[in-house]
Chains A and B, each alone.
Chain A
Amino acid sequence: MLAEADLRRCPPTLDLAIPSLTYFLDGIAEAGVQVQRCNVASASDAPQRPIITEQVLLLPDQGVGLSDAQRYSLHLASAAHVAAHLLFSPARLPVGKLKPMGLAVISAIEDARSEQLLIREHPGLRQLFLRHSALPLSGPDLSFASLVSRLNLALLDDEYRDDNYWVNKGRDLFRARLDALDDYDSFRAIGSILANDLGQMRVRFNPQQYAVPQVYRDDNSYLWTFDQVSDQSVAEVRFQNPQPPSPPPLNEPDALPETAVTEELVVRYDYPEWDARLQMRRPDWCIVVEHRTVFVGVENQKQKNAVSRLMMSPSQHLDRKRRMRRQWEGEDIDLNAATEVLVDRRLGLAPDPRIFLRPGKAARRATILLLLDMSQSSNDYRADIGGTVLQLAKRAALMSLGAAAGTEDRVAVHGFFSNTREAVHYFRFLDPGQACNDLILRRIETAEAKYSTRMGAAIRHATALLRKEETDVRAVVLISDGAPSDIDVFHADYLIEDAAVAVREALREGIDAACVTLDPQAASYVRRIFGNGRFSIVDNAMRLGTVLRHIYARVSHGSI
Chain B
Amino acid sequence: MNLDAYRLDVEPYYRPCGHEVVLFEQAHSHRLPLILKGPTGCGKTRFVEHMAWRLRRPLITVACNEDMTASDLVGRYLLDADGTCWHDGPLTLAVRYGGICYLDEIVEARQDTTVVIHPLTDSRRILPLDKKGEIVRAHPDFQLVVSYNPGYQSRSKDLKQSTRQRFAALEFDYPEREAETEIIAHEADVGRELADKLVGIARKSRALKDRGLDEGISTRMLTYAAMLIRDGMPPLDSCAMTMTNPVTDDPDMVLALRAIVESYFTV
Contacts and interface: CB of A to CB of B under 8 A. Distances in A.
A24 B256 contact: yes
Contacts of B255: 6, 9-11, 20, 23-24
B265 A3 contact: no
A560 B155 CA distance: 6
Interface string A321-353: 000000000111100001001100000000000
Contacts of A76: 259
Contact of A28 (B204, B212, B236): B204
Contacts of B84: 333, 338
A80 B154 CA distance: 36
A23 B208 CA distance: 7
B152 A124 contact: no
Given A3-B236, A331-B76, A333-B79, A533 B262 contact: no
A177 to B, nearest CB: 23
A342 B156 CA distance: 41
Contacts of B79: 333, 338, 341, 355
B253 A3 contact: no
B86 to A, nearest CB: 11
Contact of A122 (B154, B212, B257, B264): B264
A124 B265 contact: yes
Contact of B267 (A121, A127, A355): A127
A560 B200 CA distance: 30
Interface residues of B, number: 44
Given A6-B255, A331-B69, A331-B70, A27 B260 contact: yes
A67 B266 CA distance: 23
A310 interface: no
Contacts of A438: none
A558 B262 contact: no
Nearest to B78: A333
Contact of A532 (B153, B240, B260, B266): B153
Nearest to B197: A123
Interface stretch (A90-98, A495-503, A534-542): A534-542
A239 B56 CA distance: 70
Contacts of A317: 156
B205 interface: yes
B211 interface: yes
A27 B207 contact: yes
Contact of B257 (A23, A535, A537): A23
Interface in A20-35: 20-24, 26-28, 30-32
A interface residue count range (under 10 / 10 to 19 / 20 to 34 / 35 or more): 35 or more
A234 interface: no
B90 to A, nearest CB: 15
A359 B207 CA distance: 42
B256 A27 contact: yes
B31 interface: no
Interface string B105-126: 0000010000000000000000
A512 interface: yes
B153 A537 contact: no
B263 A122 contact: yes
B152 A533 contact: yes
A298 interface: no
B232 interface: no
A351 B182 CA distance: 57
B30 to A, nearest CB: 30
A539 B211 contact: yes
Interface string B151-193: 1111111000000000000000000000000000000000000
Interface string A448-473: 00000000000000000000000000
Contacts of B153: 531-534
B256 A3 contact: no
Contacts of A330: 69, 71
A122 B263 CA distance: 5
Contact of A20 (B204, B205, B253): B253
A124 B263 contact: yes
A479 to B, nearest CB: 16
B230 interface: no
Contacts of A331: 69-71, 76
A318 interface: yes
B237 interface: yes
15 contacts: A2-B258, A3-B236, A10-B255, A11-B255, A21-B256, A23-B212, A121-B264, A123-B265, A124-B264, A128-B262, A128-B263, A331-B76, A512-B155, A558-B156, A559-B154
Top 6 A-B pairs, shortest CB-CB distance:
A23-B256, A122-B263, A19-B252, A30-B207, A20-B252, A20-B255
Given A9-B255, A124-B264, 4 more contacts: A2-B259, A26-B212, A123-B266, A559-B157
